[in-house]
Amino acid sequence: MPAQFPTRMRAIASVAALYCSGFFASTLAHAQTAPAAPVAASAAAPDAAATAATAAESTLPAVKVISAPSEMQTKALSSYKFTAPLIDTPRSVTVIPEEVLKEKNVTTFQDALRTVPGITFLGGDAAANPSADRPVIRGFESRNSIFVDGMRDSGVQNRETFDVENISVIKGPDSVYAGRGSVGGSIDITTKAPQADNFINGSVGLGTDSYKRATIDWNQKLNDTTAFRLNAMGHDADQAGRTDVYSKRWGVAPSIAFGLNTPTTVTVSYYHLNSYDMPDFSVPFRSTGGTPVSTSRGQFFGLNTRDYRYGQTDTGEVKVEHRINDAWKIKNTTMFGRSTLDYVATNPQLTSATSNILSLQAKSGKYATNSVANQTEANGKFDLYGMRHTLTAGVEFSHEQDRYEGYLVSDSAGNNIRSGGPCTVAYNCTSLYGGWNPNNPWTGSIVLNGDKSFPGPATHTQTNIASAYLFDSVQLSERWIFNAGLRFDRYDVSAQQAGVADLSNISNLFSYQFGLVFKPIPNVSLYASYGTSANPPGSNSGLGGGTDQITVTNQDLAPERARNIEVGAKWDVLDQRLSLTTALFQTDKTNARVSDGLGGTINAGSQRVRGFEFGFAGNVTSKWSVFGGYSYLDAITTNAGPASPTLSGLPMVMVPKHNFTLWTSYDVLPKLTLGAGATVSSLTYASVAATSRKWTPGYARFDASATWRVSKKVDVQLNVNNIFDKEYYQSAYPIYATWAPGRSAVVTVNFYQ
């Protein structure tokens, strides 16, 4: 809230001015139409026409006072693909505003998404499943359905929030918006753009567990139509409750805009992020199933002298937007990007189902993605047959090159320890219950591309896509709106992998959505919608995602298909300060890739997710704001294929049946705001089998904050996360689960100029 203090003051002043102007206008009109005093009545009366004309000239138009929008609320998105306000968009969309990120002191992409119910995170190990951002939306991984300013943000990376304006999450199959993949939904990050204003905002934070962080957000008008903006960040912290696990990163994001407040605006931006941290595979599951093995949360089974994870992301963007007239505008965006991730990590695994001895396996990977894309969109409004259309038409061309290389990590005796080595060699094994020192010396060797058995020399994947799409919102009448979207993708992927002939898949992908909105009153929308997605082999750019990786056995298969049927309601209440949403839905994935039991892969599987969601965002009163929601997800594998018939009917992995999130804050004093939050989740399966299941237990975590406004330009914010030091797991993988942070406290000084 304080970060928006100048904006809020201007909004309040504007509302006050409107109110005052309306008050004086009505007072003046009343005075001019009141009966004349007796003395004036004896004067000669003017003619009726002159009196009427004078009254008409003197009466000012009525002014309607509307409450200022809440900073927790987002009523419309800047994306051209959304041709209606969110209340009239017939599907589930959750927008995480900057104010939530600030009040919760959220610094990573993963922690930002944890404010949205129905999202979990997969772990990774190596090769096809990297240790990076892997969100799961409504039961389906969406690692390669992440966008920045509407452009696909491919590559294996761990993202930050220092340059984020908001994050929108579209739930359910939405290839019509996002193209290939997008079975569970997609995520679009809106970055901070130059404004026609002068300001400098920043923060400096210190906390427990060696937490140190500083940010700067500087916007400068160079002239009436040109502005420059710079966002920068430095971060260094250990993970609360985990010894030897840390994260260090820095980033810079300059941008400049020409032609602000003119018909043509050109924005040039660049984003750079460097990160260096300790990968943490925490604790294993037993092969017989159950919860992760019981260990001390503080015990780290890695090697400080060897393990690391280094990432770098560089993205440049040029956006040209031209307003043709009051009804039509056009935008062209060109994006160039490169992201890299390089890591070696310890994966502790039990040597047998009943053993308490850990084999300290070494997982590794070196990933690089280069991408270029160009997108052109036109948006406009027109009337046809008495109906108002709001239409967007677009074309997009993209080219991606991905490279994966593996490391040969050997112990001092020369054994490849990717899957563990003999316990007779020092530091290859340790007891589950103590005795391991992360500062033990590394006496082995690491050679890039040296492991010829797995995955072999570098894997190269190239993806070329040409897309065309059309969206239209049609105002059928005062109460009915029809929403439609169509998209065609020409998808071409090829890969070179060690030991096999070149791989390729060419698919024509047709996706669509239709929705009908009924508005019984202006601030309520009741809707029904139907949407689809197409997920061809290799849709993950060749990096990560398990069965999405293009292989010899799946390269000739048809795309997986998914559909989403949804009915819901959206309601802006309390003078439209608070947005409420609810939805009932069913997502069906068909044509899923499964084993045929003979060493091949076929399109014979299916999965189904039925659920209910409820969300809220905005202000209950002028002093009380809320953000959060609840999701119920019933996810099962309806057909696991001929090779695994016993898996049919079992729950899907990484889908908690119940998930609730809440953040709320209250201005208890003019200078003091208190905040509190909760995240509650039921158990989450990491893997399921006919005779065993592995899961992480349910949990409830609580956070709190307090902000003291020292002056209009300075406030001090205290955040205490995981107040009760709850021990739980923040992500999982079929063979291990990752500890979540323990209790921590951070004091941040925010300044505004």
Residue 729's pLDDT is 96
Summarised one tens digit per residue, pLDDT across range 151-185 is 999 888 899 999 999 999 999 999 999 999 889 99
- Find where tokens 């994001």 sit: 253
Q: Compute the distance between CA of residue 753 and CA of residue 747 in angstroms, rounded to an integer.
A: 20
Give pLDDT, residue 351. Answer: 95
pLDDT at 545 over 90: no
Dist. CA 247–CA 111, nearest whole Å: 14
Torsion sign across C-alpha atoms 233, 273, 80, 173:
negative
Q: Residue 144 carries which side chain, given as an amino acid letter?
A: N
Please give the pLDDT value at position 129: 64
The more confident residue out of 264 and 753 is 264
pLDDT of residue 65: 42
pLDDT at 432 over 80: yes
pLDDT of residue 548: 66
**Three-class SS state of 654:** coil
State the Cα–Cα distance between residues 500 and 479, nearest whole angstrom: 59
Average pLDDT, the chain: 88
Q: What is the DSSP letter of 43?
A: S
CB 746 within 8 A of CB 706: no
Query: Percent of the chain, pLDDT > 90?
Result: 77
pLDDT for the residue numbered 519: 98
Q: What is the pLDDT of residues 5-33, one digit of tens each?
A: 344 334 333 433 333 333 333 333 333 33
> Of 123, 154, 541, nearest to 345 (Cα)?
123
Residue 306 structure tokens = 């060897």
**Phi and psi at residue 12, to the nearest 5°:** -65, -40
pLDDT tens-place string over residues 300-331: 999 999 999 999 999 999 999 999 999 999 99
Instruction: Provide CB contacts within 8 A for 752, sequence distance 6+.
Output: 2, 3, 5, 6, 199, 200, 201, 712, 713, 714
Task: Report residue 310 CA to chain centroid gap.
Answer: 22
Chain length of the chain: 753
Residue 546: is its pLDDT beyond 60?
no
Q: What is the pLDDT of residue 553?
A: 87
- DSSP secondary-structure letter at 600? -
pLDDT band at 499 (very low <50, low <70, confident <90, very high): confident
pLDDT for the residue numbered 541: 60
Cα–Cα distance for residue pair 302/426, rounded to 1 Å: 14
Among 182-186, 455-459, 538-542, 742-746, name the most confident range: 742-746
Distance CA 148, CA 303 (A): 35
Nearest to 286 by CA among 738, 734, 739: 734
